[in-house]
Amino acid sequence: MNIFFNFASLYRLLTGSLAAGFFSVVLFSSTAQAVQIEGLYSHQTEVSGDDESERAQAFATALAAVIVKLTGGEDALRVSGVERAMSRARDFVEGISYTSIGDAASGQTQRMINVDLSQALVDSLLSDLGIPIWNINRPSILVWVAIQSPEGSRRLMNPETDQYMVESLVDFADSRGLPLLFPVLDFEDRRNLTIDNLWDLRSEAINQASARYGADGILAGRIHFTPTGELVGLWQFQFQSEAQIFDGLDSDLKAYLEAPLKKVTDQLSDYFALPSVSSFERSITLRVDGIRTLADYAALLAYVSQLGIVPESSLASLDAERVELNLAVLGDAIRLRELIALDRDLLPIDSTRSETELLHYRWTR
């Protein structure tokens, strides 16, 4: 992202106490509440040796895994240009390393190869093919699951006792770059959300119990382990004040758990991913109140630079505690609003959902 910024021009724009505040402040760090996915361009896989053919296969596996994480799904792997790139996956490799993972139970050791790919080369490949890339800022999803045994008893899925189920959910989410959260199931959780309310997918009760976690979306589901071995249930996905319901039916537990996550990931990646094509750019002004110090201004610029759909930004004006930035945006104002809504750093002053080219926020970090 290109930030057009001139300190002399900024100094001339600064006035009164704001100027003193900017240049006397001590820089500090704060933890952003948005979930930024790390390791999108890396992949680890098991190998048995060092021979060239096995390493080449590991490179191709890594490229495929990275593309799935960047796009949120496997459709891109079937594009002819990607298929050709897979045959020369070595060209995208930036570095490799080996690690060993010991299994205390069996006494055996797994040898793993860590493959790091070039972000510039992979992004260029997808951009040239017109394949949308999902930004590193991704909505966190809180997962509630109610389980009914063949005998009819019900309970909440517990990360401590239902490790296979949780690992299945986490492994699939990791492969798609989707951050998951799980409730701690303490007294407060159990008081706010009864097993019957979760089983009935009562949105109001689920939302109330979920509020303490600050997740961007909620995936709630129920699983009935039938006496015949089938898994039957229902899932509800809530995101941005909208709820979707879809059925669950399978005989394999892992597949049953992955199915709703695939629907969720497909929906989110379809919405938030954008191709890096300049013809989609439009100019939008971002007005931000509450910028009191140089640290605030620097943090705002850093925040804008990692939004992904803002390739360029320039300072338009600065007055008292208000800053206006001109943004080149890949998409429209509504898309930018909803991407910003994934974070908690900017509080909308005008919450109207519109396509206006002026967005007004207050800096809250």
pLDDT one-digit tens code per residue, 107-155 = 678 889 999 999 999 998 998 888 888 888 888 999 999 999 999 999 9
In whole angstroms, how far apart are CA 20 and each of 14, 15, 16, 40, 296?
A: 9, 8, 7, 41, 13
Whole-number pLDDT of residue 344: 77
Angle of CA points 262, 83, 85, to nearest 5°: 115
Spell out, as residue ranges, where the chain has pLDDT lower than 70.
1-34, 103-107, 275-281, 351-356
Q: What share of the chain is helix, strand, coil (3-state, %, to 5)?
A: 40, 30, 30
CA–CA separation, 258 vs 63, rounded Å? Answer: 22
Whole-number pLDDT of residue 175: 94
Whole-number pLDDT of residue 328: 83
CA–CA separation, 231 vs 223, rounded Å? Answer: 6
Model pTM score = 0.71
Whole-number pLDDT of residue 301: 87
**Cβ atoms of 45 and 58 closer than 8 Å:** yes
Whole-number pLDDT of residue 352: 52
Whole-number pLDDT of residue 185: 93
Q: What is the number of other CB atoms lying within 10 angstroms of the CB of residue 211?
A: 10
In whole angstroms, how far apart are CA 179 and each of 28, 136, 274, 289?
A: 27, 11, 19, 30
Sort strands 322-330 and 231-239 into parallel, antiparallel or unpaired.
unpaired
CA–CA separation, 215 vs 232, rounded Å? Answer: 27
Whole-number pLDDT of residue 41: 95
| CA atoms lying within 13 Å on the CB side of residue 191 | 4
Whole-number pLDDT of residue 298: 87
81's enclosing H/E stretch is helix 80-86
Radius of gyration of the CA atoms of the chain, in A:
24
Whole-number pLDDT of residue 159: 87
